[in-house]
Amino acid sequence: MRGDDGFTLAESLVVLLLTALLIQGGWSVVATLVRSGERVAEISEGMETIRTVAWILEEELSGGLPNRDWWPGGADTLALRAYRGLALVQGREADGQVTVCYRGIRNPNPEKDSVLFLSGDAGWTAHALLARARGDPGCLEEAGGWEEVWRVDPEPLEPVLGRVFERGSYHLADGAFRYRRGAGGRQPLTPVRIADGTLEEVPGQGGLRWGLLLSWSGMKGDSIPWSGRIR
């Protein structure tokens, strides 16, 4: 039978079949591209997680000593004094306050910070930062520093150098690299791409070894181990 437009029924059926095959093939290509894009995004997030863990741990531990400034607190936990600034002591006021020339990644905060002072006789001693006031500008101006007046407890003995720090801890837990300050919650610093992780001291060598099992597909057996070491 031939229709009004000159097509037979068989020809129309062939056209419909070919159209259906083309549509199905197109959707298959689209689905493959979507899966490939998701895979690339997952791999990118995984690599960014590795870089973040390595960079942050190197930055936080490079200026500290094990068992004085940082302490492994379990298989996936690292407690530390997170240093946020350095101060050159300029002098002591009559009321016991200390004038310093300060430079740091942020302003000192009496609500969460303490100070580690170095003195010629007592070595390093920890002090609570009770109050702070910004002084005159120009101190270490070429290096981005400024003057501060601090009230600390107890009063330091002939301090020459101070380091501002907050108490914190890093965790490889709940699928991500996380940071906790004080008694607050553990805030994620990376995407949730970590299947398992460890943070442990290197025995007898004073370093830290970290390890990750990175998973980006959600399928068993498709994970990649990574590791690093901070001296």
User: pLDDT, tens digit, for every residue of 112-135?
Assistant: 999 999 987 768 999 999 999 987
| Domain assignment of residue 29, yes or no | no
Task: For residues 131 and 182, state if they share a domain.
Answer: no
- Residue spans of the chain under pLDDT 70: 1-7, 9, 11-41, 122, 138, 140-144, 205, 216-223
- 134, 166, 198 - which closes a domain: 166
In this prediction, residue 119 carries a pLDDT of: 87
Cα gap 148→104, rounded to integer Å:
12
**Residue 177 forms beta bridges with which residues?**
172
Where do we find the tokens 């150098």?
Answer: 161
| Domain assignment of residue 94, yes or no | yes
Task: For residues 95 and 70, state if they share a domain.
Answer: no
Task: For residues 106 and 219, state if they share a domain.
Answer: no
Task: For residues 156 and 88, state if they share a domain.
Answer: yes
In this prediction, residue 31 carries a pLDDT of: 58
How deeply is 213 buried, as exposed, middle or buried, from its count of CB atoms within 10 A (0-12, 13-18, 19+)? middle
In this prediction, residue 184 carries a pLDDT of: 76
Residue 149: phi and psi, rounded to 5, are: -120, 120
Task: For residues 87 and 143, state if they share a domain.
Answer: yes
| Domain assignment of residue 6, yes or no | no
| Domain assignment of residue 187, yes or no | yes
Start-to-end CA distance of the chain, whole Å, equals 85
- 135, 150, 166 - which closes a domain: 166
Q: What is the pLDDT of residues 14-54, one digit of tens each?
A: 666 666 666 666 666 555 655 655 666 677 788 889 999 99
Domain count, the chain: 2
**Domain ranges, residue 102:** 81-166
Task: For residues 72 and 97, state if they share a domain.
Answer: no
Task: For residues 68 and 139, state if they share a domain.
Answer: no
The two three-digit tokens of residue 18, written as one number: 């070919």
The two three-digit tokens of residue 158, written as one number: 């002939």
Task: For residues 132 and 197, state if they share a domain.
Answer: no
Q: Of 75, 48, 51, 72, whose CA–CA distance to 61 is shortest?
A: 72
Task: For residues 155 and 195, state if they share a domain.
Answer: no
- 166, 192, 215 - which closes a domain: 166
| Domain assignment of residue 17, yes or no | no
C-alpha 20: how far from its chain's center? 51
Residue 228: count of CB within 10 angstroms of its CB = 14
Cα gap 178→16, rounded to integer Å:
56
Cα gap 197→50, rounded to integer Å:
11
C-alpha 192: how far from its chain's center? 13
Task: For residues 71 and 112, state if they share a domain.
Answer: no
Rg (CA), the chain: 30
In this prediction, residue 66 carries a pLDDT of: 86
